[in-house]
Amino acid sequence: MGSKGRRIWRSKKRIIITHMETKTVNKSKLIKKFNTLLSNAGIKEEGKRGILAQYGVTSTLDLDEQTIEEICNRLGGVISSDQAELNKMRKQLMASIYQYLKAFGTPTNNPEYVKAIACQGGGFDDFNAIPKERLRSLIHSFNNQTKDLNNVAQMTSDRVDYLTTLN
């Protein structure tokens, strides 16, 4: 009977260890989500420390899962519609550049290359630092360049067809 008690004890211990590992994984995912939300909201390290200080801790590791989830829910509401609009415009700019490169005859699947072109065109070192008005300007510029390239290509094709029929 003693061996049965030992097996149950080991079995319970394994369940407890497995449960602790699951909690650790969930907590690390929540901490990652917390840091991502801070970044998306534009909150720097100083702001992060301020948020943690409200809970009487200096590290996210000192918080329990429920508290981190509560903070994440609050931060999710903080990300303004302006930030969402900027993200949408960044995606539009990247799409415009992809179309421009395709029309120019050099398509790419590399988003970092496209971001570098946007930074070069806008005169910025960081893609996310490009302000809203400059994003709008770049979107229109790349769209207009794409239209021009397509129109010139069509005109050239039509001209070649016309000259071919004359010969």
**pTM above 0.75?**
no
Q: How far apart are CA 32 and CA 40, in angstroms?
A: 12
Q: Is 135 helix (H, G, I), strand (E, B) or coil?
A: helix
pLDDT of residue 137: 96
Q: How far apart are CA 52 and CA 65, in angstroms?
A: 14
Using a 10 angstrom Cβ sphere, with 0-12 exposed, 13-18 middle and 19 or more buried, the burial of residue 142 is: buried
Q: Which of 6, 84, 68 is nearest to 31 (CA)?
A: 68
pLDDT of residue 27: 85
Residues 6+ apart with CB under 8 A from 31: 60, 61, 68
Mean pLDDT in order along the chain per 10 residues (167 residues): 43 43 71 88 87 92 90 78 84 96 90 95 93 95 93 87 82
pLDDT of residue 150: 87
pLDDT of residue 81: 65
Q: How far apart are CA 5 and CA 10, in angstroms?
A: 9
What number of CA atoms fall less than 13 Å from residue 52's CA on the CB side?
19
pLDDT of residue 24: 60
* 110's tokens: 């590399």
- For residue 16, give the amino acid letter: I
pLDDT of residue 115: 96
